[in-house]
Each structure stands twice: as C-alpha cells, then as structure tokens.
Structure 1
Amino acid sequence: MTLLGTGAPDGLPRPDCPCASCATAVGDEARAATAVLVDGALLLDLTPGPAFAAARAGRSIAGVRQVLLSHPHDGPAVEFPAGLPAPGRVPDGRELAVISGHRIRAVALDAPGTGYEVTAADGERLLYLPPGAAPAGLNNGPGHGAAPAVRYDMVLLDAVGRPDALARLRAAGAITATTDVIAVHLDHDVPPGRELHRQLAAAGARTVPDGTTLVVGDYHAVPDLPRRTLVLGGARSGKSVEAERRLESFPDVLYVATGGTRPGDADWAARVALHRERRPGSWRTAETTDLVPLLAADGPPLLLDCLSLWLTDAMDSVGAWDDESWADGGKDALAVRVAELVAAVRATRRTVVLVSNEVGSGVVPATASGRRFRDELGRLNTRVAVECEHVLLVVAGQALALR
C-alpha cells in the first residue's frame, strides 16, 4: 500500500496560508491530498497529479483497475486523469469484487462520505475512512454482550480530527494492539513540527511521509502508551487539556475529579462545567479524593485531576493549616497519606494520567500555611514523578517532555 498523499483535500501547507502549521510543513511534513494505491490495482481517492505522485514513490498507476472516492458528493473537486477508470463509489453496506482479487465493502459513517474495508486475497484487512468521519453503528464489542467487530490489520483515518473514532473502533475490537493505525487527511489545524508525532504516538497511531509504501499485516512497533503519566503546569497552562488529549482516543476512561463541588461558588461551577463539556461522552466521572482504592483496582484508564486539590483535602483532614496542629502530629499524618498515595501509584496496573500544579516559580507565599502547601505540593510532585514513566511540563499550551 503506497500513500500518494496524506494531507487534507487542500494539502498541507495550504496555498497562501501564513499559519505556523503551514509554515513548518516542509520536506517530509509537506503533504498532498490523501490518496492510497493498494497493490497497484486499487486507488482510494485522488491527489493532484496521481501519476507523478506514484512515480515519485517508485510506483505506477498503469495497473489500476478501480478508483473509489470517499469524500461526500459535494466534497472537494477532484482531477480525473486520463488512462484511469472512471472514479466511482460503493453504496453503503454493498460489496465490490475487483478483478485483482480484492473485496471492497462500503462502510456506513456518522458523517457524509463513504468508508472502505478492503480485504486482500490472503485475508488481510484495511479500513480507510474519509476526513471527519467514524464508522456508524459499531457494536460494543467484547465484554458488552456483543460479538466483536471485524479486526483490521491497518486503519487509515483522521486520527487528529476524530480521536473518538479510534476510541470507538478499539471498544468494538476492530482495532487491537497489533493494528497499525495511520493518521491521514492532515490539515493545518494539526500541531506543527514534532508535536504532531508525539500526540499521535500517545494515541497509539503514527503518520508517514507522502510516497511511503507499507505492507498491511507487517508488524510495526508503535510506542506503548505509558502506564503512568504525570502532567504538570501552572494555572491556565493547558495541563488538563493535555492530560485529556492523552486518553481521548481510548474508550471507557474514568475521570476522577478531586475538587468536588462547592455550593454557592459560581466561578467553580463554571470551571467544572467547562471540564465536563470537553470530555468525551463515553467517559465516566467520579468525584472523590479516595484515590488509593481506585489505583489498586482493575479497570479502564484513570485520569486524576488533580493532585493539588487532593493535597488540599489531605491537609484539611490533618489540620495542616494551623501551626500548632501541624507540629502536633499533623505533619506526620500527612506524610502517611502521601506515602500511601505514592505507593499506590507505584503499584497500580491501570493506565493512569495524573495532573498537578507546578509550584515554586512565583512569589513566595506571605503566610506560613501558604508556604507549607507550596512545599508539600512540590515534594508530592517530585515523589509521584519518580514513579511515572512519562512526565510532562505544560507551558502556554506547549507540552515539554521531562521524561
């Protein structure tokens, strides 16, 4: 399978666009409209100048027997090169047998357009989806009383624009640990430079330069999602968005909110509502500071947001804000609570993303209790970071990998 293009219909960079993504889309990061040449016989979608694109990749489109379009009928204009069969579509749910031996089934989508499941003569399966689309009507897969969906050896989709499509395919069993997930239809809303590849790796996906030839069914080592990730950042740095992004392509996430509710606090209610609106509808929410049992139990990935609010509750419980109570056993009691949490992070077998505030870079708090909280949060962050495979610092919405 040769990717003649991996970009959005207008390509990347877009003509005359001054944005950062377009400005850095040079060399291997420059992408023509997505088009896929399968075994030299089947062409999925069209990129401008497909014959030249194929020649640059060391391929020829002279043997193409079928050209199929995936975009909506009112989608972007396409070039119909001479010498190729007239492009067509397969009606949803219908199957087409190509003289080359491939079987093609049209997959119904939740957005305009057509997806294609391509099965080779030896049984390997490829799923190709147009931009902004996910399969419609997926069953719930294993563990939900339904048979799993067809398992794919390779999936090409809009992984940046529709991470929920990845989550739904995983939940249905259509994407497994051995599926090679390739991000295509990349537009100028993707993050520029290496950040795109980092985000895709966190979702268990990758992208390749235009002209790359891949063998469906060949093993490719995609970086494993770290079991434990700590995301640090200051106020309004984007740390919660980064943490959510790391799990948005995975189903059945449990979001653990440690802040609870604050009756009568309109600002707090607005902040909580904003977080809830951002999260995928399939995620569940638990409002609790009792984190140790959750970390010890089996289950779906956890997103713990955040450790600073957990520490506030823990310090409340031991009377840490009062100097006398702090000296009279409060400090030792808090140390026990922190040690229990750190041990639970170390021992957990669940995938967990933890969020915390990075402290100590601003002014020194004016009160002893404020300095105490700053110091204890810094120590907690340090101890949790030791137990995490991946540690990120988010500054102005940019994630810097510390580990």
Structure 2
Amino acid sequence: MNIDLGGAAGPDGWPRPGCRCASCARLRTAGIGHEPARILIDGVPPAEHAHQEVPGGFDVRPSPGRRVLVARGPGARPEAVAGVVYDAVLLDLVGCPDHLGLLRRTGAVGAATEVLNVYADHRVPSPAELERRLGFWLPPRRGPHRTLLLGGARSGKSAEAELRLMGDPDVTYVATGPARGDDPEWNARVDAHRRRRPHWWATAETTELARELTSGAGAGSGALLVDGIGTWLTAAMDEAGAWEDPARVEPRLDELIAAWRSTAARVVAVTDEVGLSLVPTTPAGRAFRDVLGHLNQRLAAESEEAALVIAGRVTELS
C-alpha cells in the first residue's frame, strides 16, 4: 500500500492567502509554501476506495485486509472502528495531537501503524516547530527516559511538558501541588491544568514522588508528567522542618535522585529555574532557592534531556 501526500497543509494552504500572522509571514518571507492536502492511497483518493464514514473521518479499505483511518479535515478526530488495528492513520496532529494518544490507548494504532500528519497550517509557528513536535509524537517512546523542563513563572513550561506527552497512550499526571481549600487563586490554576490535559490521563495528587517514580507507571508501564519539583520541595521542607536547617531535607533529596535514576518510565518533570527569580528577601526564601537550584542540577545530570522554556519558546540544553 502506497500513501502519497501531494500536499499536507490545510484547505487554504500554508501560508494562508492574506493572513498576517507570524507563522504565515515567516513562510512567506522565506519563500516557502505548502499546498493543501491531496491524499492518494495507491494512486486513488480515499473517497474512491471502498470506505465508510465514521465520526470525524473515513475508514478506508484500499485493498483486502488493508485499513486506513483518515481525518475529515482540520480539527477532526476520526473515531476508529472497534477491534480494528489500522495499517495507517492520517491525522490532524497540529490541532489534535492527543487524538493519537487516544487511538494508541484503544489499540487502533499499533507499533506497525504508519502515522502521517495532514492539514498543517498556521496553528503551529513554523515547519521546524512542527517537526520538533512530531519527533515527540510519531515514534512510540518507552522508558527509561527522563526530561527536565526548567522555566520561570508563566513561562509555558507546564504546557510544553503536556505537549511532549500528547501522543502517549498511558500518562499519569503527578500533581505535587494539590488543591488548597483556602486559596482560590491557586485552585483556579490547578483547575486550568486539569481542563487542559486529556481526560483519559490518570492523576496522582501526592508528595510521595519517589514512590511514583518506582511503582506503577514508574515501573515502566507508562509515562509520568511531574508538575512540579518546586512544589514537591516546599512540601518536603515542611515535612522535614528544614526551613531553618536545610540539611534536614537532604535524605529526601537523595531518595528522589535515587528514584529518578532507577525509574523505568518515560518521565517529563517541570521545575522552576531559580536564576530567573528575584533574590529572596528572607533567610527561608534564600534557603529554598539554594536547595532547589542544587536539586535541579542533580536532576539534570541524571536526565537524557533538559530544556529551558521562556515565553513559550524552548531551548534544548546540551
């Protein structure tokens, strides 16, 4: 079976005619253009093969024993036919990357399924950024693999962590800062994170981070998103009574590093880059900054990947 994409952009192409957004302007300046998607399966458009409509797209049968799931258009989430493992899927990964995770979760996309992106457009900043994201989603990834994402407040580091795991079928979101009944602003932030992530992700609200890294998903059955290290350290220092004597929290830090090193999971963890913060005005604040900065260095040293997120832009750290 041969799938040919004569074009892979949205219906209006990329850049979109007359659009002044940064994404379209960037391509236009570079003299680059991507044509609207023209999908051919064995030389024939999908609609000319035997097929059935499914919510969000088409289940195509180009030849006996072959099945292809095709998204109807941008933003569409084609539903798989129950019990079918597709030979190929053509999906809007720019707009719906989490749909790939769901199809993997339900078994419709297997290890041998060819996954192709269609309908790319200015919803992503550039072709280079699209390729970066596809690198996280298209190849099925397994652990152990650790990624540490650093950034300042409201830098976009949590959104980047979620983005990296959208194609995974089994994700546990480890929230180290659970809701606080007496803090409406904090609870609103927690609720915003919950609404943003896929509904089938599991959630563990806990400060027992070392245990999560070495059991369940941490033992290799899925992926973990840890958000974040700073709130975990706050709880650990509280429990250890370490605000006046930071040495008291060292055993917890050693336990975390040992679990981070030995986990079998794919882990993406979010932490605060203390160098981007104001100099603390209290001894306790300075103690927290120093401990977190040292902990970040230890985690980064044990990570396959580390990146800095600023204003939603990502810089990989070698």
Normalising by structure 1, we get a TM-score of 0.72
Q: Which residue of 1 aligns with 2:52?
A: 106
Structure 1 contact 133–165 (Cα < 8 Å) conserved: no
Correspondence 1:254-265 to 2 at 5 A = 254-265=172-183
Q: Is 2:204 the partner of 1:275?
A: no
| Contact 1:130–1:158 (8 Å) recurs in 2 | no
Q: Distance in 2 between matches of 1:385 and 1:290?
A: 20
Tell me which residue corresponds to 1:371: 286
Match for residue 236 of structure 2? 314
State the aligned residue count: 309
Give how far 1:120 is off. 3.3
Instruction: Note the C-alpha offset of 1:244.
Output: 0.9
* Correspondence list, 1:2-401, <5 A: 2-25=4-27, 30-40=33-43, 42-44=44-46, 68=47, 104-109=50-55, 111=56, 114-120=57-63, 123-131=65-73, 132-136=75-79, 139=82, 149-204=83-138, 222=139, 224=141, 227-299=145-217, 300-322=222-244, 326=245, 331=247, 333-401=248-316
Structure 1 residue 248: Cα displacement: 2.1
Shift of residue 236 of structure 1?
0.3
> Could you tell me how far 1:304 is from its partner in structure 2?
0.8
Unpaired segments ≥5 residues, structure 2: none
**Aligned partners of 2:69 and 2:78 also within 8 Å:** no
Structure 1 residues 108, 382: CA separation in 2 closer, same or farther (over 3 Å shift)?
A: same
Q: Tell me the distance in 2 between the aligned counterparts of 1:174 and 1:193.
A: 28
8 Å contact kept, 2:228–2:269: yes
Deviation at 1:388, TM superposition (A): 1.6
* Local SS of the residue matching 2:309: strand
Amino acid paired to 1:35: R
Conservation of the 8 A alpha-carbon contact between 1:107 and 1:135: no
Structure 1 residue 137, shift from structure 2 partner: 6.2
Q: Secondary structure at the match of 1:24?
A: helix
Q: What is the CA-CA distance between 1:151 and the residue it aligns to?
A: 2.1
- Mapped to 2, the partners of 1:358 and 1:178 lie a distance apart of 40
Which amino acid letter does the alignment assign opposite residue 321 of structure 1? W
Change (3 A) 1:382 1:283: same
Aligned-residue Cα RMSD (Å) equals 2.1
- Cα distance, 1:158 vs. partner? 0.4
Q: Is the 8 A contact 1:116 1:129 kept in 2?
A: no
Letter in 2 for 1:116: D
CA distance in 2, matches of 1:181, 1:383: 36
In 1, Cα distance between equivalents of 2:106 and 2:151:
35
1 CA distance for matches of 2:317 and 2:100?
Answer: 27
Show structure 1 runs of 4+ deviating over 6 A: none
Letter in 2 for 1:243: A
Gaps of 5+ in 1: 45-67, 69-87, 89-95, 97-103, 140-148, 205-221
How far is the alpha carbon of 1:296 from its aligned partner? Answer: 0.8
Give the secondary structure class of the aligned counterpart of 1:269: helix
Q: Percent same amino acid at aligned positions?
A: 46
- 2:309 and 2:315 in contact (8 A); partners too: yes
- Counterpart of 2:10 in 1: which secondary structure? coil
Kept in 2: contact 1:392–1:402 (CA 8 A): yes
> Could you list the per-position Cα deviations for residues 298-332 of structure 1 after superposition, in whole angstroms to 9, with x for gaps in the alignment?
3331111000001111111122212xxx1xxx50x
Q: Secondary structure at the match of 1:25?
A: helix
CA 1:43/1:28 → structure 2, altered by over 3 Å: closer, same or farther?
A: farther
| 1:225, distance to aligned residue in structure 2 (A) | 6.3
Helix, strand or coil at the partner of 1:251: coil
Compute the TM-score of the two structures, normalised by the length of structure 2: 0.90
Aligned CA distance change for structure 1 residues 296 and 120 (closer, same or farther; 3 Å): same
Cα separation, partners in 2 of 1:384 and 1:262, compared to 1, 3 Å: same
SS of residue matched to 2:6: strand
Q: Deviations over 1:47-68 (max 9, x none)?
A: xxxxxxxxxxxxxxxxxxxxx2
Give the whole-Å Cα distance in 1 for the aligned partners of 2:140 and 2:168: 15
Q: Secondary structure of the equivalent of 1:391?
A: strand
| Structure that is richer in helix per residue | 2
Change (3 A) 1:134 1:318: same
What per-residue deviation string (whole Å, max 9, x for no partner) do you get for residues 270-321 of structure 1? 1111111111111122110001121111333111100000111111112221
